[in-house]
Amino acid sequence: MESQYLLDSNVVIGYLAGRLPDSGMKTVSAIVDRIPHISVISQIEVLRFNDTPENEAILNDFVEMSVIHPLSSDIVLRVIALCKQRKIKIPDAIIAATALVENMILVTRNIDDFKNITGLEFLNPWEN
């Protein structure tokens, strides 16, 4: 079975703005071409800013074409467990729990926020 990837908010914004290195753009493009997956928290983070109408349209289009993973009871329970085990921000815990419960690889620039979470696989498109 082919790996599934969960895109963190920083990756979505960096990708749509063309701010990733060439290799990262290629990697994320391949993921997006297969249908991007994001957490509901990434949907909120990506769409919360007031931006130009053009940029808002780009962000809305991206979110609309994405699979958005809601807060299921399994994800909520995993968030609670993660927060009890370590100091972690709730949005990061939601993203990590979503990747863990859905058995996905987290694509993020913020490796330090997630590096000590057992079982979580991640990919940083800003690195080789």
The per-residue pLDDT of the chain, averaged, comes to: 95
Q: What's the pTM value of the predicted model, to 2 decimals? A: 0.95
The distance in angstroms from the start CA to the end CA of the chain is 24
Strand partners, 83: none
Share of the chain above pLDDT 90, in %: 93
Q: Which residues contact 56 (CB under 8 A, 6 or more apart)?
A: 47
Q: Note the pLDDT of residue 128.
A: 63
What's the pLDDT tens digit per position in 28-68? Answer: 999 999 999 999 999 999 999 878 999 999 999 999 999 99
CATH superfamily of the 5-123 domain: 5'-nuclease (3.40.50.1010)
* pLDDT value at residue 18: 95
Give the per-residue pLDDT at 50.
78
Q: 70-108, pLDDT tens digit by residue?
A: 999 999 999 999 999 999 999 999 999 999 999 999 999
pLDDT of residue 2: 82
Our measurement of the distance from residue 125's CA atom to the centroid of its chain's CA atoms, rounded to an integer in Å, reads: 12
Phi, psi dihedrals of residue 6, rounded to the nearest 5°: -110, 120
